[in-house]
Amino acid sequence: MTEYTYRIAGEHDLRAITDIYNAAVIAGGSSADLSPRTLEQRKVWVESHQDPYAVFVVEAADDDGNPQTVGFGALSVFYDRAGYDGVTDLAYYVDPAWQGKGVGTYTLTKLLEECRKRNMRKACGIIFADNAGSIALMRGTRHNMGFMTADLLAERWSVNFSDHKGLAMLGKGVMNLSGRNVKFFLAKPLTYMNDSGNAVASISSYYQIEPNHIVVVHDDMDLDFGRIKVKSGGSAGGHNGIKSIDRSLGTPKYARVRMGVGHAQRGAHAHDNTVNWVLGGFGPDQRKQLPEFLADGADAAETIIFDGLAKAQEQFNGR
């Protein structure tokens, strides 16, 4: 197995960073707003990363034992706009010749370690190199209710996550269900929120999971914070991630745990308000309630699995 190392990028790394970025963007055919960059643009970008932000290069030994750059990653300011204060952007790109060799997983792991070292608790917007697209991994924000609940279930079930085709972090295990040992899968999509269905469809197809055996946990602005509603089928309610899953599975007939996050201010700037709202953090009172709310969400998912949808609706929908 190839061993990789990483370090802070220096000026002598600019050419390799520029070449890898441009090659990854072109190879990925991304629909995101990404285009090739010049060496000077990359220089300005690297120099803009002042502590605690940083750019890293990932290296592997060539045939002669000399280090060669095979990828790079960065911790950056997400967006300089209201609603994103304190949010960090994680981005990484892999030399297309090295894709599928674990470089992306290694780089992402190191970036998350650096986040923890630097006390960057609100990390979002990972860009991954396979298709040079961005994903909605929003720690500590309203749009991350599903991921936070999945992390809690992973703790309860002693599950570790690993990469699934660059589309999702996937955990696997076996549980006893009505006297039978059955496999289970716990997934966190690594796609645009609007493309979540690509990850769900890939996993369900690969492991032959029928839609009526799928439970999706997600944020819902039509419910007040702290409220949970369990359902199967019906409207996506404007949630683009759910619309994507409906399309990819060819049906809305799967279980959903809707976790209320409240609604953004309506009016002339409703769209921007909505974006800032779902990507924004929780207020002091909500942060106090959040652990119990996440536990309720995890309980609802488990109730669907062990006792069925009707029982879960009876237990959680009336609260």
Positions annotated as catalytic residues are 143
* HSE-CB of 21 using CA atoms within 13 angstroms: 25
Alpha-carbon distance of 127 to 89, in angstroms, equals 8
Query: In degrees rounded to 5, what are phi and psi of residue 28?
Result: -80, -20
Alpha-carbon distance of 6 to 56, in angstroms, equals 6
User: Beta strands of the chain (E only): which ranges?
Assistant: 5-8, 54-61, 67-77, 88-94, 123-128, 133-134, 162-164, 168-177, 180-189, 215-220, 228-232, 255-260
Alpha-carbon distance of 295 to 159, in angstroms, equals 17
Per the structure block, which two tokens stand in for 219?
């944020």
Angle (CA) 15-104-123 rounded to 5° is 95
Contacts of 250 (CB under 8 A, 6+ apart): none
